[in-house]
Amino acid sequence: MYNDDNIFAKILSKKIPCKLIYENDFALAFYDIFPKSKIHALVIPKGKYLTFLDFTSTASLNEVQGFFAALKETTELLNLPNGFRVISNTGKDGGQEVPHFHMHILGGEDLGPLIRKP
Ligand code: AMP
């Protein structure tokens, strides 16, 4: 169940600010407030979707296309010629903290292996 009080819903409604990178009709891209790499951005759909699965199974084709276009534009604006990593944490095992679908773009340095367990 989507909760309108989540932090990304508040960013979308401009109740709290963000460091904007890119915006189109369907998505917003901004810098992560607690960066996990030298460059760390988030891309979120403007619609109310809880998870990756919720988004990919219920969003319209326009929304999906608009979201991935924003993701692509954002990686270009961030200028990451040596590459980057795109991640979507989903649910409890995926470590999802904010219950509004989002994708992380991480880069600006060698990120090492995909998973580093403590
Ligand atoms: P996840 O664990 O995939 O749900 O990631 C949520 C991400 O949102 C984390 O990397 C947080 O640092 C980030 N975050 C939380 N609050 C904000 C905020 N107000 N502005 C930007 N990023 C945020």
CA 99 – ligand 1 centroid, Å: 10
Ligand 1 atom having least distance to the Cα of 18: 20
Q: Are strands 103-107 and 84-87 parallel, antiparallel or unpaired?
A: antiparallel
Answering whether pTM is above 0.85, one says yes
Q: Is the pLDDT of residue 73 over 80?
A: yes
Question: Over the stretch 36-54, which tens digit does the pLDDT of each residue have?
Answer: 999 999 999 999 999 999 9
Residue 117's pLDDT is what?
A: 75
Residue 115: the pLDDT is 86
Query: Token pair of 76, please?
Result: 């270009």
Q: Is 40 a catalytic residue?
A: no
- Ligand 1, CB cutoff 6 Å, lining residues: 7, 16, 18, 32-34, 42, 89, 95-98
Tokens of 67: 């979201």
Q: What is the pLDDT of residue 74?
A: 98
Average pLDDT over residues 100-116: 95
